[in-house]
Amino acid sequence: MVTKQFSGSPEDADLRRADSLAREIFSDVANKWALLIIEAMGEHTLRFSELRNEIEGISHKMLTQNLRMLERNGLVDRTVHPTVPPRVEYALTEAGRGLRRTVDSMCDWTHQYLGDIEDSRRRFDT
């Protein structure tokens, strides 16, 4: 996924395509807001405004933007209830829940090494 070496053989064309697609997806998904949104959703079904409240510091724009992107990639289901005022609900798809598991482990990791990291920073900043 990270490598750039391919032979010129034609059967590598598929690999190269898959690889660049993987990179594209990775670039979409590996960003702070996207991961925080996925983490915040968990197993719940949440409204736009609920997500906004759950995720500290996210702006209206970043939330919509990232939700669109996640929807496009099939990680999030968007359900519009035709009421007035409108009620829009978001939930993770199966693919989204799969990704959430890896985000969970990243959060676990963060807490596990919190102390070490804090120490390392202090040392570095001198």
Partner DNA sequence: CGGGATCCCAGATGATACTG
Partner DNA sequence: CAGTATCATCTGGGATCCCG
Place of tokens 């590996």: 30
Place of tokens 């807490």: 111
| 48 near DNA, judged by CB under 7 A | yes
Tell me whether the omega of the peptide bond preceding residue 85 falls within 30 degrees of 0, making it cis: yes
25 binds, among DNA, a second copy, none (CB under 5 to 8 A by kind): a second copy
Of 27 and 83, the one with the shorter C-beta distance to a second copy is: 27
Give residues 75-114 in contact with DNA (rule: CB under 7 A): 78, 80, 85-88
DSSP string, 88-120: EEEEE-HHHHHHHHHHHHHHHHHHHTHHHHHHH
Least distance (Å) from a second copy to the CB of residue 82?
A: 21
Q: At what angle do helices 32-41 and 12-29 cross, to 10 degrees?
A: 70
Point out which residues bind a second copy (CB under 8 A): 1-4, 18, 21-23, 25-27, 29-32, 35-36, 39-40, 53-56, 71-75, 95, 98-99, 101-102, 105-107, 109-114, 116-121, 124-125
- CA–CA separation, 37 and 52 (whole Å): 9
Contact set with DNA (CB under 7 A): 31-33, 47-50, 52, 57-62, 64-65, 67-68, 78, 80, 85-88
